[in-house]
Structure formats: structure tokens, C-alpha cells
Structure 1
């Protein structure tokens, strides 16, 4: 009797310790949430405009360069630079950030010629945004080279981030699958040692992937190699929404680990199971809160559906791993006859949730049918859909075996079907890991890299002057024309008279006169309405003296 009392006491002690550990993990999570910075939801940022505009020629040096992004951005120290024609730094002081607008102080007394603006900032979904463009003061010259470093991400780091995310997904399903099956479907006569090892492997893999993502985020956002990590960089990452979400994930994982120990040892009470389910459901939200969904046009909807998508994936694939690795090889026919119909219903619900959540998220992130086929994100999504369709076909075959009650008596067919599902979904997980690192289609389709959509600019030479031709927006309808004349040594060339016409021979449209108004000695502007798409031929005649005159022709594609 005394032995029984002692055993009961030990079980109570273990349960009490597990609940205390879970409470401590939850406390850490709450503290991390309270310390999190308040940041507004916004989309993956792209540069939508700049002043001066890309490739523009301005008569005098600006006092500042203004970058306007599609959404608010954060600073990456030392990664916004303006390079003068001689290669020196033209920016003066630190740039200012006000939401989506970045203002860079520039020396207005700089030399004439072409300036290079390079930038690297962090968008709200934690991804770096980088690029460069040029503008010229007085006249174009050979573009300078930025010797201060490359703003592009290290490909080794980019690939390492994808690997870490993939391992995180694998760790999640290896944890969820055993926990779910051990709690609800595991036969009492079978040893729990194998599923327990798998569950703890999932915990370790998930913890490793989370820490690796935090580490890699430093060089990924700031630029640099795998080990270019500084204390200041780590502090910036931990203080961001990305860092907060990952710290919360680690806290929830620590709390869940205390309750996982009694679960893998034997059946647990309803309260412990409920707490473990709440911890797991809460942890699912840390993935969308650290990525694209939190920055979508409908963040609340995107975060919820992405968490549902991820949870359904973990239940389905984790259950398949348990089915293929343990239940089908070890359970007898009677046990499989009881387990497989229940699992079949669970899998059907998980797949239905996957399809619904994936459809909603796809509509939000892609936005238009055109973006689905013309962007990398859209094409990856199509590949994922195609693979998923194959998996659904295999799953339907498995479900048919269960309905015909042949799986329990002949588990070989079922096992082969399950392994086929797992093999294909392993590829699907790889595509998913790439998708979360890819600019959403809704944003990529609108990415104009600092130049207005359809903006056209070119320079053509003639015996009397070089003529820079700009057409904005280079689309059907009203267009603005700007002309600049320069000498062979890139100095402004005074022009006495400007003439211009536009024609579309392929559509039978005869030359239309472009009214041109001189603004300065070497700059003229005009407005013209282009009624159709096609390769328009623009002809300009410049007269620089009573006897010096030349005509140039430019072909402009109009959409």
C-alpha cells in the first residue's frame, strides 16, 4: 500500500513540475510580447519613386535625395549611400526615416556628372530590400562604382535561411505527429520509445532551426557572410517583430517540452492535453507573425489562415510519419481496423483546411491572375499546387483502401501509398521554404525599382548634339516628352529650335506633330496623346545655329 501511495505521489509530483514548467514558459512568452516593439502592419516594401527620378538629368545638384517605398521601412546602418561622379561620398549625415519615405542629405555643390544611389532597408515582413539607380547633374557621365560594399545578399546566407526554415517545418511535423498520435490513437500494448525519440528529435530540430533563423537574420538583413554577426546586429534583430516572434516560439516550445515528457511516457490527463494543445496552437502563429502574412493587405486574415495552413500541414504530415514509421508496421489488424478510419477522417479535415487556407492566402498574396504567371512567387505557387494535386490523388487512394477495409488486413499497399505522400510532400515543404523567402506576387508585380512604370529614356547622337529623350509613362494615352541636348563633352548644348513628330507605321498612323516648349537653353518639353500600342517612331530635329541642324529617330515601345 505504501508503494502504491509513493507511486501516486511521484506521478503527482511529475505532473506538478510539468505544469510549473509550462507556466514558466508561458511567462517568458508574455514578457517577450510585452517587450515587443509596436510596429504597424505593412506589405513587403518596394521602391516606388525617387527624387531625382532614376536616369534623370537635373540642372543643378539637389540638397537631398528622397526615396519613397510602397510601405514603411527600417534602417540598415551604413547601407544607404550616394556616390559622386569621382567615386567619393556625396551624402552628408544620416538619412531620416519617416514611414515609407527616406530622405538622404546630399551636398548640393557637388561636381557635374552621374551620381549613384544605393540602398538597403528592411521591410515590415523582415526581408531586406536593396537596389540602386543613377541620376545626373548637368549632363550624364560614366556611372561611378560604389566601393563601400555590395548591397546584395550573400547567396550562402540566403540559401542557409531557406534550409533553416525547411528544418523548422520538419521539426514541427515531427513534434506534432507523435504528440497527436500518442495522445489519441496509440495502442496501449505498443512501446512508446520510438515515437518518444521522434518527438524529442522534433523539439530539438525546431529549437535549432529557430535559433539558426535568429542568427542568420543578422547577415541576411545587414548583408555579409554567415559569421558577419555583431552584437549590435543581434540586438536589432531581437528588438524587431521577427525577433520577438522567434523568442516567443522558443518560450512556447520550452513550456510544451515540460508537458511532452509525461505524454511520451504514458497517457496524460485532459487538462495537460488541453494546455499542450493551446501551447501548440499559439506557437503556430509565430510563423506568420514573422513573415509575409503579418505584412499583407489583410494582416489579421492572413495570419489566421497561414496558422491554420501550417497547423493542418503538421497534423497531416506528422500523422503520416507516425502511420508509416510505427503504426502500419507494428499494430495488428484489429488495432489498425480501429485506428485507420479515425485517422482517415482527421486527414480529410486537415487536407480540407489546407486547401481552404491555401486558397485564401494565395488570393491575398498573388492578387491578380497576371501576377500568378509573371512573377517568381506566382510560378512557385503553381508548382506547389501541382505537387499538392498529386498528393491529394495518392491520399484519395489511401482513403479508398480504408473505406474498403483492405488496409488493416493488407497494410503493404497502405504503407506504400503513405510513403509516396511523404516523398512528394517533402518537395512541397522545400517549395514552401522558398516561397516564404520570395517577394509576394502582389508586390513583385508592382515593383518598379525606383522608376515610374513604363518610363522610357535613351540618348542618341547626332553631328550637332547628343539628345536625351524621355517619355513618361510610355503607355497609350497622354505622355510627357522631355528633351535634353548636350555637347560631345557632356556640357549643355544651347538649341535655337526644337521640332518633333510621332508615328506608328505598323498601324498606318502618319506623323503627329509634338508641340515642344523650350524650358532652358538645352531642355524642351511637350505633351502628346498616343492612341495605340506598338513601336512608335519619334523624330526630333534640333537646330543649334543658323546653319547647324540634325534629326534623330527613336523607337519607343508603347503598351
Structure 2
């Protein structure tokens, strides 16, 4: 290839990276698009009850972890009444509170938790005892402000770019590199890739700390960074840094083509573990089938790194000044590797998309699905160009037209750089499967009621209050003074007299002395009659009857 074409190819690659970086600001400017959603609360949002409860319960759409010091309940006078630390069991967080000296008025609950896929969610709501206050309390730190901003999506993109530079060139150098060609350039590329992975991991750590505590990056302290290290995400990120350092020790021999079988196995094991750290710190851990989703995510990353990294190495280092006969041997071998990688890329990516979307309509009705369509469309265009190149290789004419190959490779790298930027945005966007939970939060789906009788006060909530699906019920019993009242035996039945459906007995599981839960399946929609009996002693029991509307 002549020198002008080499310059053009490099300019095309550089422009692709610049364009991808310009696409990064498409990401959300703050972590408001969290990946878990608050679906029910007890007391219910904006509910007016006749007493001050001794605990507040929040149920989310996914398992969560409370951020220390960021979960609180404020009394009507603005004083904090939270007692001890909140307790989290799976998707439900229990916040113990004390009854203030002046219990009547509006209470404010503010929370900040981290969902199972490492994304924070924050919010607040109010309830009232007796009657709402004229001036409800305000949370002390609820000013709107950016936390990590663009740091996280930029770090994601940098990490992907690092994998491309480290993986593909290493594979090419270890398996099909010409003997007479210098390996210095490819070695520098590989180490630059490892450095980018390390920098991206550090950036992710800092961004995660900022989003977790809800503070700008400039206000973070050592304790905030240590808090990330103590989380599941921090363990994964620390493992990634350690594995990257180990890769820096193992890769030189592989790049020089002198690695023995044991070192090759070590490189493969380290690479697999590195790939796993990305899905283990993202959406896949909260997917319906986490093991499958994590595996698909790792395969997707590995295939992308092999394909794009190898293509970059061929374009930058081999097409220029490599003899035609040598290229005639290298290009078919590389084409087979690329075809295999693209196949795995498509299979794993499709599997991931199905699991993260949850339903077909999410492909067009959610930001996640729309970004996925844009990514798939760009990738389809790239694959069309790659298919033409493969036909040239199969006919044995690719080595005779290095300029054409370089030009097409430049197009592929340019567009796929944009695809990587979209991927960085995509992993920061709520998956389509959580859209139902977000809609339920907006519509205040579900039912929450409080019924007071002589013996006790019963609070219960049913979510999502829909026919034909599993509905979760949580019930709590308190004394008239707002103290938890242990229940010796629960009895629950539901009926739909208007449709001739007789009472259906429902088993109640005891989670805590005053807390019962059940799973109810309403066969049809309608106004169902719910009867719940709580026996508090050998002789004291009472039945509460309520009507609940099931959609």
C-alpha cells in the first residue's frame, strides 16, 4: 500500500474514535435513570393514617443495598426519627423509627440505595399521621446536582477501547504474525490497551462512589471511595485491576510468539476472568437468569475484542509494507477468526437483548430498546462491509488490493467506534425489562390500605394488583399506640361475589412477629373482597374485611 493510503486509514480510525467520544454525551447526565424502582411503601405514599408507625417499609423491583447514612425518616418538626440502621431482605427495606413527642403531621422518608446491577436509586415520599402538616419537612440534601456526570459512560467506553487494543492484537501476534515484521508496534498497542483498562476501572470506581453517596466527584473523600471497595461492585473492580496487572506480566511472551503451553493457558484464564468482570458489575447480575446473562455478556465482550482488535492490528501494522504472498496467507486465516468472532458476537448479543428487554414492545417503547436498535443498525452496516471483504478473501484477491481492504477496514473501525460509544450509553440505561416497574412507580400501581379496629390496626399492600399474575401481599399489625403487635396465627381469604367466586384460602408466611406475606393469584379482574384474621393471643382475634380493585 502506498503511504497516502496509510495516512487516510489512520485518519479514518482517528475520526472514528473522536466521533465516538462525541457520542458519549448522549448518556444521562446523572444517575436518575436507576435500574431498580420503588414499587410499594408502607405506609403508602401520601397516605393519611391515624397513628405514628414504628417502622417504614420500602419494596423495590430488584434486590437493593442501603447506602449508609442516606436513609432517613423526618418527623413533622424536621427531626430525624430513624432508629439504628435499615434492614434489607431481598427487595424489601425496613426502616425502624421512633414515635416523636408530637406525632401528628407529615413525615418525610428519603432514601438512597444501590440496586443489584450496581446502579444507585434515590428518592423521597411523605405520609401523614392524623392530618397533613401545613409545611412538610424537607430533606437536608436534596438539591439537584450532578454527581458522576459523564465520568461513568466515558469510563465504560475507555474500558471497551482498552479491551480492543489489548486482546485482538495479542491474538494476531501470537498466531499469525509474519516472522520478518517488527512486533514493537503491536506490543505498544497491547500495553496501551491494558493501561486504558486500568484507567477506566479507576474512573468507574470514582464514578460509582459519586453516584452511591450522591455527591459530586470533587467532594468525595477517602471514606466514600472505601465504601465502594466494601460493596460487591468494588470487589469486582478490584479483581479487574489485579487481573490487568497479571495480564501485563503474562502478555509479553504471547505477543513475541514464544509463550509456552502453560503461559498460554494462563493468558486464556486471565482473559476469561477479565471479561467476566464487566457483566458482573452491570445489568446481567440482576437479569432473570443471571448465570446465562453474565456468560452471554462475557462472550459478547470477548468476540468484540477479538474482531475489532484484530481488524485494527491488520489495518495499522500489516497491510502496509507486507508482501503480497504473506498477506495471501494471513488474510484468509484472519478472516476465519473474524467470522467466528462475529458469529459469537451476534449470538451472545441477541441473547443479551432478549433477556434485558423482557418483552418485544420494549424494543420501541423504551430508551434501552431504541439505543439497541441504533446499535444493531450500525452493526448491520459494518457487517455488510465486512461481508464484501470476506468475498474478496475467499476469491484470493484481497492481497492484491490492499488499498481497498484498508479503506473498508477504516470504515468498519470508524462505525464500530460509534457502536462502542452507544454500548457505553446502553449499559448506563435502564434495561427494557425494568420499564414495567418504572411505569408502576409513576402510576402508583398496587394497593395499600390501613384499617383500624378495636383490637389492632392492620396495614397491608398488594402489588401489582393485576389479574392473571403473581401478586405479593404484605400485612403488618400494630397496637393503637403504633407498636408492633405479634400475631400468633394469620388467616386470609379472597372472594369475588359479583362473579360467583367463593372465598379462596391463601397461605400466609410469617416473616416477622407482626409481618405476614402471601402470594395471591386473582383469576379475573374485579372488586375482590379480602378477609384477614389475625389472632394475637389464645383468645384474642379479629377479622378485617376490605375491598380491593384488581385490574
Say whether the fold is shared (TM-score over 0.5).
yes
Q: Could you list the runs of 5+ residues in structure 1 that have no partner in the other structure?
A: 1-42, 458-471, 478-513, 515-524, 531-558
Runs of 4+ in 1 over 4 A off after TM superposition: 454-457, 472-477, 525-530
CA distance in 1, matches of 2:546, 2:197: 61
Cα shift at 1:266: 4.9
What's the CA shift string for 1:49-89, capped at 9, x where partnerless?
11011122222222221112233321212211223444443
Cα shift at 1:221: 1.1
Change (3 A) 1:315 1:474: closer
1:234-383 matches, within 5 Å, as 234-383=225-374
Given the alignment, which residue of 56, 61, 72 partners 2:52? 61
1:434 aligned residue: 425
Given the alignment, which residue of 191, 196, 202 partners 1:205? 196
- Tell whether the 8 Å contact from 2:201 to 2:241 is kept in structure 1 after alignment: yes
Cα shift at 1:170: 0.5
2:111 aligned residue: 119
What SS does the corresponding residue of 2:375 show, helix, strand or coil? Answer: helix
What's the CA shift string for 1:269-311, capped at 9, x where partnerless?
3432232122212211111112211222111111111110000
Cα shift at 1:90: 4.2
* TM-score w.r.t. length of structure 2: 0.72
What's the CA shift string for 1:318-375, capped at 9, x where partnerless?
0111122111123221111111111111111111101111111111111111222222
Q: Could you list the runs of 5+ residues in structure 2 that have no partner in the other structure?
A: 1-33, 450-462, 469-526, 528-544
2:95 aligned residue: 104
Change (3 A) 1:105 1:279: closer
Change (3 A) 1:404 1:279: same
1:148 aligned residue: 140
1:411 aligned residue: 402
Given the alignment, which residue of 437, 445, 448 partners 2:436? 445
1:219 aligned residue: 210
1:95 aligned residue: 86
Cα shift at 1:475: 8.4
- Tell whether the 8 Å contact from 2:465 to 2:549 is kept in structure 1 after alignment: no
- Tell whether the 8 Å contact from 1:308 to 1:353 is kept in structure 2 after alignment: yes
- Tell whether the 8 Å contact from 2:44 to 2:448 is kept in structure 1 after alignment: no
Q: Larger Cα Rg: Structure 1 or Structure 2?
A: 1
Q: State the structure with bigger RCO (CA 8 A, min sep 6), 1 or 2.
A: 2
Change (3 A) 1:474 1:97: closer
What's the CA shift string for 1:446-502, capped at 9, x where partnerless?
233386427799xxxxxxxxxxxxxx989899xxxxxxxxxxxxxxxxxxxxxxxxx
CA distance in 2, matches of 1:526, 1:283: 54
- Tell whether the 8 Å contact from 1:121 to 1:128 is kept in structure 2 after alignment: yes
Change (3 A) 1:108 1:419: same
What SS does the corresponding residue of 2:399 show, helix, strand or coil? Answer: coil
1:81 aligned residue: 72
For structure 1, which segment, 336-345 or 371-380, has the greater mean C-alpha deviation from structure 2 after superposition?
371-380
Cα shift at 1:111: 4.6
Change (3 A) 1:50 1:400: same
CA distance in 2, matches of 1:348, 1:439: 31
2:223 aligned residue: 232
For structure 1, which segment, 95-104 or 430-439, has the greater mean C-alpha deviation from structure 2 after superposition?
95-104
What SS does the corresponding residue of 1:120 show, helix, strand or coil? Answer: strand
What's the CA shift string for 1:172-220, capped at 9, x where partnerless?
1100121111101211111111111111111111111112222322122
- Tell whether the 8 Å contact from 1:372 to 1:379 is kept in structure 2 after alignment: yes
What SS does the corresponding residue of 2:127 show, helix, strand or coil? Answer: strand
- Number of residue pairs matched? 431
CA distance in 1, matches of 2:200, 2:465: 47
CA distance in 2, matches of 1:84, 1:308: 51
For structure 1, which segment, 256-265 or 140-149, has the greater mean C-alpha deviation from structure 2 after superposition?
140-149
